[in-house]
Amino acid sequence: MASGVARAAAGGLRRAVVLMGHPGHGGLMRSLASLDQAAGRFGWQLHFVFPPATAAQVEAAGLGARARYCAGIHHWRRLGGRLRLPILLATLVREVRRLDAEVVYCATLSSFPYACLTARACRVGELVHVYSSYADGAQYRKHWLGRARHAVAPSRDSLERAAAAIGGFAGRAEVVYNGVDVACIETAAAAPVALAPRLGRGPVVGMVANLDRRKNPLDLVEATARLVPRFPTLAVLLVGEFPDPEYRDVVLGRAQTLGIESHVTVTGFQASPFPLINVCDVVALPTRRDPFPIALLEAMALRKPIVSTAVGGIPEMVVDGETGFVVPPGDVDALTARLDALLGDHERRRVMGEAGRRRMETVFTLDGFVARMFAAFDGAAAG
């Protein structure tokens, strides 16, 4: 590296450039905010590069002070993105050198090709977070994961799938379970809920997610239609936004066809979904593929029982029958039955919610997450 002037200006802190190529991931934004807040305790300072589409989310997460926005970082595989790739790489190289950074941390797997090229052009450490549950080796290979010098994954499932898909990691690879800031979540959850008049006095089921086909809110709509005869005042909150307008029409059109549109509310993106989670009796996530949904950890922090699918790292998070239920993906009958069992039994919800909170406080602590992540930063820099 050139001079060390930037490091001296930062009070001796080591610097890392963090790339995040996918907009719309509220949980990941909050995870990055937790890392940013803890960085100084571990001798690091984080600087961020995001796609322009994430600007509002970045500011809401409190990451704007050291954020830079680069066009092409999101849709780099498209023709226009590939044409801009040399400019993007040159920009990233200049940023790493300007900051005298020691690590390029790729927070989403899709960003790794240019993160890897940037790190190697600057001769600094590289770290990639495998927030993915692909089983297809081609999906991993196109992201150069086999070339990673240091990788972390949020679950054993993600790490094992990736290793199998690429034929093993060339460098160091380890599992780092996410953690969440319980005190911050509880404080935020105490805020009033603007939707309260619409929720009535009936049970509330919430789903917190980027509402795409992979997260599969359609199955929750189908389950809602089966639950309404038993729970006529049931309210379902889809906490997030639909990135695909056509899929939004499919989901809400199905709710209308089933005659339950008055029971389903789409809140749009929420930088702080916690007040809404707090009013839920159960949190559901009928996702078809998910490495480790942080929204479920946040629900556990607020003592909410969970009904989710047995995909990705979810079975590592949710203990079936103890902190909630896991059901087969795409099985609306099982999803309905488990939701019915919880909505009809207040004491069972309470016991499972308390068990989930205890599990989160012992296995998925924020201190454990940030300590292991910055140990990985140290290892990447040394390597």
Lowest mean pLDDT among 16-20, 72-76, 159-163, 342-346: 72-76
- What CATH number did the domain enclosing 332 receive? 3.40.50.2000
**87 vs 5: CA distance, rounded Å:** 26
Domain that holds residue 234: 182-363
Helices (H), 302-365: 314-317, 332-343, 346-363
Using one digit for the tens of pLDDT, what is the confidence trace for 251-309? 999 999 999 999 999 999 888 999 999 999 999 999 999 999 999 999 999 999 999 99
The predicted pLDDT at position 1 comes to 38
Structure tokens at 5: 């002037």
| Cβ atoms of 46 and 56 closer than 8 Å | no
Does 156 lie in the same domain as 34? yes
- Name the one residue in this structure whose structure tokens are 């997450």: 369
The yes-or-no verdict on residue 8 having pLDDT over 60 is: no
**306 vs 342: CA distance, rounded Å:** 9
| Cβ atoms of 238 and 270 closer than 8 Å | no
Using one digit for the tens of pLDDT, what is the confidence trace for 358-377? 999 999 999 999 999 999 99
Number of domains in the chain: 2
Does 318 lie in the same domain as 196? yes
Does 197 lie in the same domain as 81? no
The whole model's pTM is what?
0.87
Give the strand order in the sheet containing 14-19: 67-69, 44-50, 14-19, 103-106, 125-129, 150-153, 172-175
**Nearest partner of 283 among 353, 361, 370, 190, judged by Cα:** 353
The yes-or-no verdict on residue 128 having pLDDT over 90 is: yes
For the chain, what is the total number of helices (H) and then of strands (E)?
17, 13
Does 374 lie in the same domain as 329? no
Average pLDDT over residues 12-22: 91
Q: Which of the pair, 286 or 8, is modelled with greater confidence?
A: 286
Write the CB contacts of 103 (distance below 8 Å, at least 6 apart in sequence). 14, 16, 17, 119, 124, 125, 126, 127, 377, 380, 381
The predicted pLDDT at position 4 comes to 40
Structure tokens at 153: 């994954």
Using one digit for the tens of pLDDT, what is the confidence trace for 185-224? 999 999 988 776 567 678 999 999 999 999 999 999 999 9
**Nearest partner of 205 among 304, 124, 134, judged by Cα:** 304
**Nearest partner of 216 among 224, 207, 225, judged by Cα:** 207
Does 189 lie in the same domain as 51? no
Q: Sorting pLDDT into bands at 50, 70 and 90, what band is 43? A: very high
Work out the mean pLDDT of the chain and round it to a whole number. Answer: 90
Does 119 lie in the same domain as 210? no
Lowest mean pLDDT among 8-22, 117-131, 178-192, 316-330: 8-22
Does 235 lie in the same domain as 109? no
First to last CA, the chain: 15
Q: Sorting pLDDT into bands at 50, 70 and 90, what band is 132? A: confident
Query: 3-state DSSP helix/strand/coil percent for the chain, to nearest 5?
Result: 50, 15, 35
| Cβ atoms of 120 and 107 closer than 8 Å | no
Does 221 lie in the same domain as 147? no
**337 vs 314: CA distance, rounded Å:** 19
The yes-or-no verdict on residue 326 having pLDDT over 50 is: yes
Does 288 lie in the same domain as 310? yes
The yes-or-no verdict on residue 75 having pLDDT over 70 is: no
**53 vs 210: CA distance, rounded Å:** 15
Q: What is the three-class DSSP state of 308?
A: strand
- Name the one residue in this structure whose structure tokens are 């909150």: 237
Does 167 lie in the same domain as 69? yes
The yes-or-no verdict on residue 131 having pLDDT over 90 is: no
Q: How much of the chain, in percent, has pLDDT values that exceed 70?
A: 92
Does 140 lie in the same domain as 201? no
Does 258 lie in the same domain as 161? no
